[in-house]
Chain A
Amino acid sequence: MQPDPISPRARILQALAADPRTRLLHGHRFRAAEALPWILAVVAYFAFDTYLSLGIAVLIAVLFTLSLDLVIGYAGIATLGHATMYGFGAYTAGLVAVHFTREPVTGLFMAMLAGAAMAFVTGRLFLHLRGNTLIMLTLAVVVMLSEVANKATSLTGGEDGLRGVVIDPLFGIYKFDIWGRTRYWYVLVTLFVLFLIARRIAHSSFGFALQGIRENDRRMSAIGSPVPWRLLVIYTIGGAFAGAAGGLLAQSNRFVGLDVFSISTTSTVLIMLVLGGTGRLYGALVGAAIYVMLHHFASAINPFHWMFVVGAVLILTVLFAPAGLFGLIEKLSSPLNRRAR
């Protein structure tokens, strides 16, 4: 009799991977590897303290991408308008700091609220639509708001951007210094808290319902899931997260530029998500981090060459790695796949 070439451990892993219930029942448990990005983020603070502003940009991009993952990756809402909520949150946090209070946490909450409100209203209007029409409408809102922000110069500063965003020390103690030490921790802790919430949502029954809707919305309706309501709820939550990302951007840059509402912002966040991989939360982390860091160093050399590379990578991703970088890693390292080769 031939000895079985597979080790008992691999066989157990295989059985677990083959059983669809495994993911549903055990997905919410924390695995050791999940601590890795956060350890990296803390290590980066001490190891690369001259690059803190880049680190902050990475963390904000991760949050923004994460918010889109909830909407696209989990609920499958094909939107090209996520910059709407991001920009709205950014301007809200900026205006709150200029006109009302310089207290950062209040500004952040207002930004989240603004993002959520914007998402709720546009979601109410648009989410019953599908496909091309939805993509165009969401994109049109971004461009329209950019036009509004451009023309309302007395409020937004127009093309010069909103200046004079000054933030008080965090909790009255930690000053926002020019090196970005406080800002880094502020953004990292915000991201961590919101990530835990997103993770909880993703592994809740609500999160499973969303994935069901993503796969087949008619069937979900047929088994009694309130599809439009669920979509609106996740769209609003995603809006709040995107608003938070915009708010953090305004507070840490002390400035809001017109480009928060732009086709480029709204497509970049999609690119970051897809490069990392949709519908897995960690894809957003990997995609945004790699994109922003590469962008920082490559576009310093030549912004047009950078565009070429991103465009080409995007085309290749759609053709050859539809699940993104993270999907590729998963595929190469899964026990099932290892056996097959």
Chain B
Amino acid sequence: MDLFLNNVSFLIVDGIAYGMVLFVISIGLAITMGLMRVVNLAHGSFAAFGGYIGIKAVNELGVPFPVGLMIAFSGTFLVSIVLERLLYVHLYKASELKQVLMTVGVILVSIASFNLAFGAQSLPVKLPPYLTGPVDLGFREVPSYRVFLIAVGLAMMIGLWLLLDRTRFGAQIRAAVDNRHMAESMGIDVMRLFTITFALGSGMAGLGGALGAEILPLEPVYAFKHLLTFLIVVSVAGFGNIKAVAVVSLILGVIDTAGRYFVPAYGAFVIYLTMIAILLWRPNGLFSKT
């Protein structure tokens, strides 16, 4: 019994840590889908890009891990501004089919480029000593890396909430999500908003890619491999709903971790089936108002 409880608490910590990584990566996708109505299937490529540059900086330049995370964020932020101006700007009025095609094109190019730049093997992560040992939380010891993930995830949640709920910029985004034309008539520069939001969302994905590199290993096919997981979070939560994305990420993280542990044969299957059922029941997401 004691062993069982021990396992359960371990699974919950692990699951929540994984859920936090899912949240940090998926939230950008949820916002861009809600705001711009673009299905960016290549979102995982941005996560992988950030992961690669952040972890490379940690491994080879010896920068501290938190600085590596910042490099991951800012590098992806800058690259995505360029890509948004060059490519994604053409997708805002295009059909879903075109969005799918172009973003699949971006995935393929990214896979080839990552393979060329970083090799076909998954990139090992050299964590600093304070993130490899266990940490005593009073009632039990848990791996400090998981605690770090949860702390960073919580900080990002609070930061995002403050940004979107308490600032002028956030109010503009919310206005544009709810009614783009009205927002434009009120003098909000929606195109500029799109660029910044897209870059912010991609930057967060990049940060998430570096943060979760131990859980979701960095490899060239990253974007294809985890595509459905990110899409599940976003589509079940409903586009552009931050609280829902947080809740769904954490639930999915815990269920997925527990499923892999208790019923390894059916874990993934159950999750896909649940997602299909939820989307059939509520096509706009579990927490949509309609």
Contact = CB atoms under 8 A, between A and B. Distances in A.
B39 A315 contact: no
B240 to A, nearest CB: 12
Given A136-B279, A140-B275, A318 B235 contact: no
Interface stretch (B8-16, B68-76, B97-105, B185-193): B97-105
18 contacts: A78-B100, A132-B37, A135-B39, A136-B231, A137-B279, A139-B231, A140-B275, A151-B269, A263-B224, A263-B227, A274-B101, A308-B108, A308-B112, A311-B105, A314-B102, A314-B108, A318-B90, A319-B87
Nearest to B285: A133
Interface string A306-324: 0110111111011100100
A312 to B, nearest CB: 6
Nearest to B235: A136
B21 interface: no
Interface stretch (A9-17, A141-149, A183-191, A246-254): A141-149
Interface in A296-334: 304-305, 307-308, 310-315, 317-319, 322
Interface string B84-120: 0001001000111110111011111111110110001
Residue of B100, B232, B265 contacting most chain A CB atoms (<10 Å): B100
A267 B108 CA distance: 11
B269 A148 contact: yes
B91 to A, nearest CB: 8
B280 interface: yes
Contacts of A155: none
Interface in A92-130: 125-126, 129
Interface of B: 33, 37, 39, 87, 90, 94-98, 100-102, 104-113, 115-116, 120, 220, 224, 227-228, 231-232, 235, 239, 265-266, 268-269, 272-273, 275-276, 279-280, 283-284
Contacts of B231: 136, 139-140
A314 B105 contact: yes
A151 B270 CA distance: 13
A260 interface: no
Contact of A144 (B100, B115, B272): B272
Given A311-B108, A322-B98, A144 B273 contact: yes
A322 B102 CA distance: 11
A131 B284 CA distance: 11
B212 to A, nearest CB: 20
Interface of A: 72, 78, 80, 125-126, 129, 131-133, 135-137, 139-141, 143-144, 147-148, 151, 263-264, 267, 270-271, 274, 304-305, 307-308, 310-315, 317-319, 322
**Chain A interface main SS type:** helix
B39 to A, nearest CB: 5
Contacts of B269: 144, 147-148, 151
Residue of B109, B113, B232 contacting most chain A CB atoms (<10 Å): B109
Nearest to A308: B112
A24 to B, nearest CB: 24
A132 B272 contact: no
A80 B37 CA distance: 17
A258 B266 CA distance: 17
A304 B96 contact: no
B232 A140 contact: yes
A147 B105 contact: no
Given A133-B279, A137-B279, A311-B107, A317 B239 contact: no
Nearest to A316: B105
A13 B220 CA distance: 51
B233 to A, nearest CB: 11
A318 B98 contact: yes
Nearest to B87: A315
A78 B101 CA distance: 11
Contacts of B100: 78, 80, 135, 267, 270
Contacts of A147: 268-269, 272
